[in-house]
């Protein structure tokens, strides 16, 4: 029996969705506050702020469908809040944000840009992004467009959008209804934005670490091409036994990595740790 490996890898992208169907969600831990940030097209993006570092912040961007209340997102935010101020948010069409989410990475990268701009206005000296799947792709696209951040943790970034857009465009009602049942208000049309594979060389040379599971959205050879195109410095970690966008308990490792990258030799003097 022959196996269509391309379809098998694309099917792996459904795993976070299945977790969302199981309602695998939890409230943010400990003291926190909520706010809305205005995005493009009039959308309002729901954000949660936790932690209390006055100088260093990490924006955590969730995977598609599940939103910022997904347990993996909350677990990472909880761990990072031990060292940083952490901002999680819902992309358009997710959770408590308004609007609809099209198929692609362009509009969600604009959402991330709006949140990062708001965080910068809060006065933080160092701001990093940690993104799961869709959130990681949004970071690559935003970074290539010139949106500044000081470090990037990418968890299961898909080099390209899964090849469902042509089918979805032909069945918009089915797609919208299905995704709505899973918690996402979708626009079934592609947004025309670039992919991480397209823009990887254009992201500035800030420190990056790329986590991939053994089972990912795209086949290994496509991920290899993507990694080769990413501008250095970059570290790559394959998480044994993990599925797409799954840290499998490595949240403390992410915090330790960010601690090293976001702490200048003399914080507050303008010294850059990359020099």
pLDDT band with cut points at 50, 70 and 90 for residue 104? confident
DSSP track, 153-200: EEES--SS--TTHHHHHH-HHHHHHHHHHTTB-EEEEE-----HHHHG
The CA-based angle 247-57-27, given to 5 degrees, is 55
pLDDT at 273: 31
Per DSSP bridges, beta strands 151-155 and 101-103 are: unpaired
Structurally, the chain folds into a number of domains equal to 1
* Tens digits of residue pLDDT in 182-225: 566 767 677 778 999 999 999 999 999 999 998 887 889 999 99
**Residue at 268 is within a domain:** no
Q: Which residue has the tokens 């390209």?
A: 160
User: What is the phi/psi pair of residue 107, to 5°?
Assistant: -70, -40
Q: Which residues contact 246 (CB under 8 A, 6 or more apart)?
A: 15, 72, 155, 156, 213, 239
Q: What is the CATH number of the domain that holds 129?
A: 3.40.50.1820
Q: Report the distance separating Cα 194 and Cα 52, nearest Å.
A: 35
Q: Which residues span the domain enclosing 118?
A: 5-261
* Tens digits of residue pLDDT in 32-61: 899 999 999 999 999 999 999 999 999 999
**Residue at 267 is within a domain:** no
Element (H, E) at 119: helix 106-121
**Residue at 216 is within a domain:** yes
**Residue at 189 is within a domain:** yes
Q: Report the distance separating Cα 163 and Cα 228, nearest Å.
A: 22
Question: Residue 269 above 50 pLDDT?
Answer: no
Per DSSP bridges, beta strands 44-50 and 85-89 are: antiparallel
Question: Residue 114 above 80 pLDDT?
Answer: yes
**Residue at 136 is within a domain:** yes
**Residue at 273 is within a domain:** no
**Residue at 274 is within a domain:** no
**Residue at 275 is within a domain:** no
What pTM did the predictor assign?
0.83
pLDDT band with cut points at 50, 70 and 90 for residue 21? very low
* Tens digits of residue pLDDT in 132-177: 999 999 999 999 999 999 999 999 999 987 655 554 555 455 555 4
Comparing C-alpha atoms, which of 225, 58, 203 is closest to residue 141?
203
């Amino acid at each position: 029996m022959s196996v269509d490996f391309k379809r098998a890898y694309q099917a792996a992208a459904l795993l976070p969705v299945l977790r969302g169907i199981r309602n695998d969600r939890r409230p943010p831990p400990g003291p926190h506050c909520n706010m809305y940030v205005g995005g493009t097209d009039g959308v309002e993006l729901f954000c949660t702020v936790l932690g209390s570092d006055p100088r260093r912040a990490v924006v955590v961007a969730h995977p598609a469908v599940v939103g910022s209340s997904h347990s993996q997102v909350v677990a990472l935010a909880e761990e990072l809040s031990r060292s940083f101020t952490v901002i999680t948010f819902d992309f358009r069409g997710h959770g408590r944000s308004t609007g609809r989410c099209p198929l692609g990475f362009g509009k969600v990268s604009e959402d991330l840009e709006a949140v990062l701009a708001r965080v910068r206005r809060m006065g933080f000296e160092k701001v990093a992004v940690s993104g799961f799947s869709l959130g990681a792709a949004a970071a690559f696209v935003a970074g290539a467009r010139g949106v500044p951040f000081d470090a990037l943790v990418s968890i299961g970034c898909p080099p390209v959008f899964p090849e469902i857009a042509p089918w979805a465009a032909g069945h918009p009602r089915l797609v919208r209804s299905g995704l709505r049942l899973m918690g996402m208000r979708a626009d079934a049309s592609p947004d025309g934005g670039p992919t991480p594979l397209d823009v990887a060389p254009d992201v500035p040379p800030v420190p990056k670490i790329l986590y991939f599971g053994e089972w990912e959205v795209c086949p290994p050879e496509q991920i290899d091409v993507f990694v080769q195109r990413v501008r250095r410095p970059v570290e790559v970690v394959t998480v044994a036994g993990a599925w797409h966008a799954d840290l499998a308990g490595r949240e403390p490792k992410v915090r330790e990595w960010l601690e090293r990258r976001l702490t200048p030799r003399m914080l507050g003097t303008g010294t850059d740790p990359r020099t």
